[in-house]
Amino acid sequence: MFAHIRRTETEVECSGNHGDDPSRHLFKLLDYVGYSHDIIAERRRVFHGIDAMINNARGDEIVRVTAGSKAEGLASCFESDYDFINIYKNSVCQYENFTNMISNDTTEFCMLGESCHPGHYTLKLLTRGVKLRKIIEASLVTTQNSEIFISSDLFTKEFERTVSFDSVGGWNKGTSTGPAVLSTRGIYRRDDVNAFRCVV
């Protein structure tokens, strides 16, 4: 996959002898083992291209994005850890109701942060889109005030049901933590996180 990438030969021209410079030695070592700036940038480009090919071939509204060390260009495609974010294009989160800007296919949630930890939000259903996926429908809960919210726990459990876990040669269900659904296959570990777009 990286056959056209050559080891970079970065030379810094300046006065004095740098043969004993530890930083220069480290730079060259990182270059040799595949962590130069150019190779990291190329890995990022390749993973972005793989995501684009997969998303173009899919027939649904979910966009898969590679995350973690592979997206950062620090890990090769053959290393054992995989992190993916699956973005539902037809579901959006927002602070205010912009219904007139959203299509009928889109399900809208309002982001409420008053009763949550910093960086977290409760998602209240504003508009139910005509293409609401079953996994989201099954994760909705209604309060005593007839307000509808999505449950993160139910959403994660519903997503686990959609993942094919095959103990004979396939992916096995792992112990999930937080919103990630963990699956393993031998030495390989895969974390999938579902996400909605945010309009702020």
pLDDT single digits (tens) 10-25: 444 444 455 578 888 8
Q: What is the pLDDT of residue 6?
A: 47
| pTM confidence score | 0.74
When pLDDT is cut at 50, 70 and 90, the band that residue 169 belongs to is low
Q: Does the residue 37 lie in any domain?
A: yes
pLDDT mean over 105-118: 86
Structural domains in the chain (count):
2
**Burial of 200: CB neighbours in 10 Å, binned 0-12, 13-18, 19+:** exposed
Same domain, 179 and 117: yes
Beta bridge partners of 108: 92, 127
Same domain, 109 and 133: yes
pLDDT single digits (tens) 39-78: 899 999 999 999 999 999 987 888 999 999 999 888 887 7
Same domain, 14 and 41: yes
Q: What is the pLDDT of residue 8?
A: 46
Q: DSSP per residue over 119-167, as a string? A: T--EEEEEE--TT--HHHHTTEEE-TTS-EEE-HHHHHHHHHHHS---T
Same domain, 110 and 187: yes
Q: Does the residue 121 lie in any domain?
A: yes
Q: What is the pLDDT of residue 19?
A: 59
pLDDT mean over 122-148: 92
Beta bridge partners of 196: 88
Q: Does the residue 44 lie in any domain?
A: yes
Same domain, 107 and 186: yes
Same domain, 62 and 121: no
Query: In percent, how much of the chain has pLDDT > 70?
Result: 84
